[in-house]
Structure 1
Amino acid sequence: MISSRENLIEITVRVVLMILFRYYDKATPFIRQIQPEEIWLYNNPVTKSYVPSPILWSICIGFPAICFTLFFIFDPTSRKECKLAISGLTLAFSLNAFLTAYIKILVGRPRPDFIERCFPLEKGTDFTQCIGPIDHVYDGRKSFPSGHSSFSFVVMVFMSMFSARRLKIWTTERLRGLKFILCILPLLLATTIAISRTCDYHHHYQDVIVGSGMGSLIAYAVFQLYLKTGATNSIMVKPMINNKKIGDCSSFSK
C-alpha cells in the first residue's frame, strides 16, 4: 500500500518536471550558425500548423480520458490497473515534456521556415541579427526534436500498450483481429500528427523521427515501470504449453 507521503512525492515529481518544461520552453535557445550551403534547408514559407498546439493538447488529454472512462464503465476489473496507468502516463508525459524542451534549447536547430521568420519583409544574410518578432524568431530555433511528435507518441504508444493489455490480444483468440486494429489506431493518429509537421514546414524529417522515437521509448519504459510485463494478461506474456511456460524444464526428469 502506497502511503500518502509517497503519493505526495510522486505528484511533486510530476509538478517539478512540468515547471522545468515551462521554464525551458520559454528559454533562449542556442544561436546556431547557418552556413551558406545549408540555407536551402531553412528557406521555406511560414505557414499555419495543420495541428495547432491547442488541438494537440486536447488530443493528448482527451483521448486517454475517454479511454480510461470507457474501461472504468465497461470493465470494472480494470479500475486498479487504470489507476496505475494514469500514474504512469502522467509521469511519461511530464518527463517527455521536460526532455523535449531541454533538448530543443541545447540544440537550437532552425526550423525549415526560419529564414522567413528572421527576415519577414526583406532578405538578409546575417541570421544572428533577425528583424522579425523576437519570440517568433526564437521559436524558429527550436526545431529539434519535434514536440508534436514526441507528445503524440508518448501518449498514443502508452495507450496502445495499455489497451492491448486490457483487451488481452496476446492471450485470447476472440476477435483478435478487431482488437489489434483498435490498439494500433492511436499509433496511426500519432503518425499522422508527426508527418503533418513536415508538411507545414515546421520541422525537418529528422526532428520528427527523433521526437517520435523519444516519445515511444519513454512510453515503453514507464509502462514497464508501472505495469510490468511479467503480470497476467501482460502484452508480452510468454506462451504456455500444458500450463507451463516454454523453456520451463522442471517437469522433465534428470
Structure 2
Amino acid sequence: MSKIAAMSSTCSITGNKSESSYRIYARPSTQQKDAAALSLLIVRIYKGLKQLDPFHRRFSLEDKSIQYPYAVEERVPNWMLYIITSILPLITMIIISLGLKRSMHDCHHAILGFILGYSSTLVVTQLFKITVGRPRPDFIDRCQPVNGSTDATVYGLSTSDICTQTSQSILEGGFESFFSGHASTSFAGMGYLSLYFAGKLHVFDRKGYTYKAFIVASPLVVATLISISRTMDYRHHWQDVIVGSLVGFSFAFFSYNQYFPPLHSHVCHQPFAVRLKEPEPEHTADFSFHDGSTFKVSVTRKDGEIVHKSDYATTPEELNQV
C-alpha cells in the first residue's frame, strides 16, 4: 500500500466493450457438431463390437450356478432400459437447464457429458462381454445339451459343441454374463443424473437438507433396482451386477467432472466455461512506481461474473533479493 501511495499518477484505463464481446457461449452449430460427432463415433464402435461372437469359455455340466431356468420375458427389457436410463435423464436435464436455469450453456455441457459417459459405458461393457465369455446363470437351459452328455474325463469340462440350441443368438448370448450391461448402463445414466442433481442442489453445502438427499439418491435407487432384476431373471451372477454398477458409475463420475466442477465447490451448480479463446478485458489500469516497478489490474466479465486479475512486476534489484 505504501508503494501505491507513493506512485506517480500515470494511469490508463481502456474504454468499455459491448456486452456481446465478453459473453462466452457455444454456438448452436458447434454444440450440434460436438454431440453428433461423438455419438456417431461411439455408435459405430458399439455396432462393430455387437457383430463379434463372444469367447466360448469351457463350462461344467455339474456347475449349479449355471443351471437356472431361461426366462423368456425379462423384468426390464432392453427397450425399457434405454428409455429409463438415457431418454428420461436427458429430458430431465434439458427441462432443468432450459426451463429452470434458462442456460443453453448448461444444457450443452449436461448433454455432452451424458453422451460421453453413457456411450463409453456401452462400448466397454460390450468389449468385456465378448472377451471374457462367462456363461450366464441360465446357460445350461440355453445350451440344451445332448441327452446323456457328461464332462470330459481329462480336463473335466465341456464345450459348446454339446449344445443342441437352434437359436444362435440365444446360445451366443449365454456367454455374455460378465459384466452386466443393465447394471453398467443404469448407473452410467442414472448415476450421471444423480450427480447433476447434487451439483444443482449443492447437496454437500453442510446445511443438511433432507429433501436434497432424497432427490439425489432417487436415480441411484432406480439403477439399483434395475441391476437387482438381472439376478431375479437369472441373466447375471451377483459379481456381474456389482462390477457393472461400479464401471457404470465410474464413467458417470468421470464424464460429469469433465464438464462440471467438483460437488464440494461453491460453484458446483455452474458448468465449466466452454473451450474458446479468453475474452479481452473490459478495463485495464497500469500503475508505475518511482522505483521502476509496475502494477497492472484487468477486469473481465466471464460467464456473467466479474473476474479480477492483477500482475505486479518488481525491479531487477528486488528480484535479486528474493
Question: What is the TM-score when the length of structure 1 is the normalising length?
Answer: 0.83
Q: Counting helix residues as a fraction of each chain, which structure ranks higher? A: 1
- Paired with 1:232 and 1:80, the residues of 2 have a C-alpha distance of 19
Residue in structure 2 matched with residue 143 of structure 1 by the alignment: 177
Alignment of 1:65-84 (within 5 A): 65-72=90-97, 74-84=99-109
Report the aligned-residue RMSD. Answer: 2.4
Residue in structure 1 matched with residue 125 of structure 2 by the alignment: 100
1:122: Cα distance to partner?
A: 4.9
1:154 equivalent in alignment to 2:188:
yes
Residue in structure 1 matched with residue 212 of structure 2 by the alignment: 179
Residue in structure 1 matched with residue 114 of structure 2 by the alignment: 89
Residue in structure 2 matched with residue 244 of structure 1 by the alignment: none
Amino acid at match of 1:67: T
1:121: Cα distance to partner?
A: 8.3
Residue in structure 1 matched with residue 251 of structure 2 by the alignment: 218
**Does structure 2 retain, via aligned residues, the 8 Å contact 1:18–1:97?**
no
Question: Mind listing any 5+ residue stretches in structure 1 that lack a counterpart?
Answer: 236-254
- Paired with 1:187 and 1:121, the residues of 2 have a C-alpha distance of 43
Alignment counterpart, residue 67 of structure 2, candidates 43, 46, 68:
43
Residues 111-132 of structure 1 show CA distances to partners (whole Å, capped at 9, x for unaligned) of 0000110107856444421211
- Paired with 2:90 and 2:82, the residues of 1 have a C-alpha distance of 12
Q: Aligned pairs, how many?
A: 233
**Does structure 1 retain, via aligned residues, the 8 Å contact 2:81–2:182?**
yes
Q: Counting strand residues as a fraction of each chain, which structure ranks higher? A: 2
Greater C-alpha radius of gyration? 2
Question: What is the TM-score when the length of structure 2 is the normalising length?
Answer: 0.66
- Paired with 1:112 and 1:215, the residues of 2 have a C-alpha distance of 22
Question: Mind listing any 5+ residue stretches in structure 2 that lack a counterpart?
Answer: 1-24, 151-157, 270-322
Residues 60-80 of structure 1 show CA distances to partners (whole Å, capped at 9, x for unaligned) of 233213312431455225542
- Paired with 1:202 and 1:108, the residues of 2 have a C-alpha distance of 14
1:41: Cα distance to partner?
A: 1.3
